[in-house]
Amino acid sequence: MCTCFIIPRDVLTQLSQDPELAAEVRKNLLDTAHISHELRELRTQAGLLTSVALASVDALEVVAAAPAVTVYDCKHTFTLPGTPVPNPGSSADPTAKRTFNETTGVAKFYKDVFGRNSIDNHGMTMMSSIHYGKNFNNAMWNGSQMIYGDGDGTIFIDFTNGDDVIGHELTHGVTQHSLQLEYKDEPGGLNESMSDCFGSMFRQWEKNQDVKHADWLIGHDIIGPTAKAKGITCLRDMAHPDAKHCLAPQPTKYSQITPGMDPHYSSGPPNLAFHTACMEYGGKSWDHIGKVWYRALTGSGAIPKMQMKQFAARTRQVAHQLYSGTPAVAAAVDKGWKHVGL
């Protein structure tokens, strides 16, 4: 399965054989079917390559000292990657310019704070496609690139408006290249939480905010007027996961998580654990607690079925190891997890 978001190949093939359509139209449909199939195969293979490569070698040769950042325009279709946007950093299209600048910012965040070279830590190109679909209320990581919709202008506005959204989505790539958490059950909730934690940290880092001044809201900048009129201020609130101003209120305790729960729902308790640890320790979220989370995410190789209890234990262990001379860090991490019942 992959997220091609295109007309199924069978439909394209059948339509290409419809005698009522002009010959040129039928040829275009057949060509699209062939190309789409190959793109689908390419994306599936890209995902498999990630797993095999990470399992096979200790250290891949560095691809680039710093990642290239590319932007493509889908022009309101579902065809990926779209048309390349030349010089996106100075584009007249504000979406293209913003996507380039914020993605470059995420690369700098990971490099400056954690010493990480791009999504895969080997300088891979960070590729984004914008204007995906028409009024499309979604943003995605498809296994090899980012995809952003423009929003419908009422419930949501352009998804690239959220710096935390961009940080969130790119962090799914980081997770794919590190813990490789499955996107279901507890690993799925952890996967989502990693993206909220690092997306929020990126937002705070860009603004140079300490933990007390951060809003800890995910998706605050993409909420549209219709949603705002109903009192919605965000998708999720890491400080108060069950708050009514959230579009998707979440559980606050680990005991509330059940098998099969949507990862956007089960990320509530680990989000709150991270927030609590950060507030307890103080200062900037990325300085100490963020580094503990980063080492826990990237320091042990692939554990796709990692449970929340395991991750909590790992962060406690890392906090002791990284900050043995500063016991307040481990104490803050411990308090965070205990607050959610772990």
Partner 1 sequence: MTRLLIERLGGFAGFGLPGSPLKSRGELDLSKLPPKVREAIEELFNKPPSAEPTRPGPVHPFRYRMTRQTESGSQTVEVPFDAVPSVVHESVKDVLD
User: Which of 15/113 has CB closer to partner 1?
Assistant: 15
- Contact residues toward partner 1 (CB under 8 A) are 1-8, 10-11, 14-15, 18, 44, 47, 50-51, 78, 133, 137-143, 152, 155-156, 159, 165, 168-169, 172, 176, 180, 182-184, 188, 191, 195, 219, 226-227, 230, 232, 235, 247-249, 262, 264-265, 304
Q: Which is nearer to partner 1, 8 or 84 (CB)?
A: 8
- The contacts of residue 39 (CB under 8 Å, 6+ apart) are 4, 80
The residue among 153 and 327 lying less far from partner 1, judged by its C-beta, is: 153
Contact 198, 167 (CB under 8 A): yes
For partner 1, the closer of residues 248 and 313 by Cβ is: 248
Q: Decide whether 148 or 281 has the Cβ nearer to partner 1.
A: 148
CA angle at 168 for the pair 317 and 142, rounded to the nearest 5°: 110
Q: Which residues pair with 234 in a beta bridge?
A: 246
Q: CA geometry: angle at 242 spanning 135 and 267, to 5°? A: 70
Looking at 169, 186, 192, 280, which residue is catalytic?
169
Q: What is the DSSP letter of 223?
A: B
Q: How far is the CB of 312 from partner 1 (least distance, A)?
A: 22
Q: Which of 34, 76, 245, 264 is catalytic?
A: 264
Least distance in Å: CB of 137 to partner 1?
Answer: 5
Shortest spacing between CB 263 and partner 1, in angstroms: 9
| Least distance from partner 1 to the Cβ atom of residue 240, Å | 14
With 0-12 CB in 10 A as exposed, 13-18 as middle and 19+ as buried, what is 101? Answer: middle
Burial 105-128 (b: 16+ CB within 10 A, else e): bbbebbeebbebbbbbbbbbebbb
Assess whether 264 carries a catalytic annotation: yes
Write the secondary structure of 162-212 as one string of H (helix), E (strand) and C (coil). CHHHHHHHHHHHHHHCCCCCCCCHHHHHHHHHHHHHHHHHHHHHHHCCCCC
92 Cα distance to chain centroid: 26
Active site residue 288: no
Q: What minimum distance in Å lies between the beta carbon of 338 and partner 1? A: 25
SS3 6: coil
Give the residue numbers annotated as catalytic, written as ranges. Answer: 169, 264
